[in-house]
Amino acid sequence: MTSFVTLHQLLFVLNPVSGDIDKSELEDTITAFCAERGRQAHFFHTTGAQDQNRLRTAIKRQAYDAVFACGGDGTVNLVAEAIADTGLLLGILPLGSGNGLSKDLEIPQDLAEALHLIWEHGVSAIDTLRVNGHFSAHLADLGFNALVVERFDQSDSRGPTTYVRIATQEYLAYEPATYRIRTDRGSFEGPAFMVTMANGNTFGSNVVINPDSRLDDGEFEICIIAPFPGTAALGILYQLYTSDFEASLYTQRLRCRWAEIEVNGQSQVLGQVDGESVRLDTPIRIGISPRSLRVLTPTVPPPS
């Protein structure tokens, strides 16, 4: 981590629908904050149509010092993919339903506090993943959570209450698939409730799927939750909320640098990547790009 980089020209990427949060005054707030500190704010609004290509074009047109993702994990993914391996800095203003990566990086969840990263910050270089070519800066998975994310995307409402309602409904009828997983370190074969390809630690719901891992160690983890009886559900949920993933009989992890996953002999399966639903051809291949993304993070206090 470096101690400080002076930022002048800043691009803010705004997602108008993330997190069911009113953003009508967000642009004015950011502009005023930057002007007071001698920074220049520019804005890019996502529309859901060719956002990646439009953002790359906008970045090429002007020399920015940092690009801020103003939204949830999907917006962070969009911006991170556009600037990975370019040397540009990623800032995050967490305004989504989950904001998982920002929580792992200990970025303040309050907008006013997060804005202070513009002029008081450190810089961390973190790893990124490719899941069948799909870029991931945080977490991707197959199985139950991927199904819930798809249903959530199709819902007319947002927020954690909607997610919990959908998860409860889907759990009652969910049928686990059988997976065959190969990695450079080990393998797994059998049924699974869900399989997570984890560069980070924590879902936006504060479920800790991958405790004690690092975002910058050149490795990722395959986190497996086996099918479990209903009587074990509360215990597993408690362990996930208390960073005790491996305490359960129904959980295990494979640490690796690459992985290949087959699912029930299916040619295509549902997945989620950084909070966005995707259809993945099988076998699914996952690889890592070490320290390929530079991110603004809170400064580390000096040693006492």
C-alpha Rg value of the chain to the nearest Å: 19
Do the beta carbons of residue 73 and residue 47 sit within 8 Å?
Answer: no
Among 42, 22, 23, 21, which Cα is nearest to 31's? 42
Nearest 5°: the CA angle 286, 211, 135 is: 25
- Output the CA torsion sign for 213, 216, 218, 220: positive
pTM, two decimal places: 0.89
Q: Which fold has domain 9-127+292-297?
A: Rossmann fold (3.40.50)
Whether the link from the prior residue into 283 is cis, omega within 30° of 0, is: yes
The CATH number of 134-290, from 2.60.40.10, 2.130.10.10, 3.90.230.10, 2.60.200.40, is 2.60.200.40
Residue 141 tokens, joined: 């998975």
What stretches of the chain adopt beta strand conformation (E)?
9-14, 40-45, 66-71, 89-94, 122-131, 134-136, 139-143, 177-183, 187-192, 194-198, 220-225, 251-256, 258-263, 268-273, 276-281, 284-297
For the segment 8-20, what is each residue's pLDDT rounded down to a tens digit?
899 999 987 665 5
Among 128, 133, 93, which Cα is nearest to 113's? 93
Q: How far apart are CA 84 and CA 182, in angstroms?
A: 27
Amino acid at 197: M
Among 21, 19, 40, 25, which Cα is nearest to 119's? 40
- Give the start-to-end residue ranges of the domains of the chain: 9-127+292-297, 134-290
For the segment 261-271, what is each residue's pLDDT rounded down to a tens digit?
999 989 999 99
Exposed/middle/buried for 171, CB within 10 Å: 0-12, 13-18, 19+?
middle
The pLDDT profile of the chain, 304 residues, written as one tens digit per residue, is: 445 567 889 999 998 766 555 566 899 999 999 999 899 999 999 998 899 999 999 999 999 999 999 998 999 999 999 999 999 999 999 998 788 999 999 999 999 999 999 988 999 999 999 999 999 999 999 999 999 888 887 887 766 777 788 888 888 889 999 999 999 999 999 999 999 999 999 988 888 999 989 999 999 999 999 999 988 888 988 788 888 888 888 999 999 999 999 999 899 999 999 989 999 999 999 999 999 999 999 975 444 3
For the segment 19-38, what is each residue's pLDDT rounded down to a tens digit?
555 566 899 999 999 999 89
- Output the CA torsion sign for 222, 253, 80, 20: positive
Q: Which residues of 51-67 are buried (b: 16+ CB within 10 A; e: fewer)?
A: beeebeebbeeeebbbb
Amino acid at 150: E
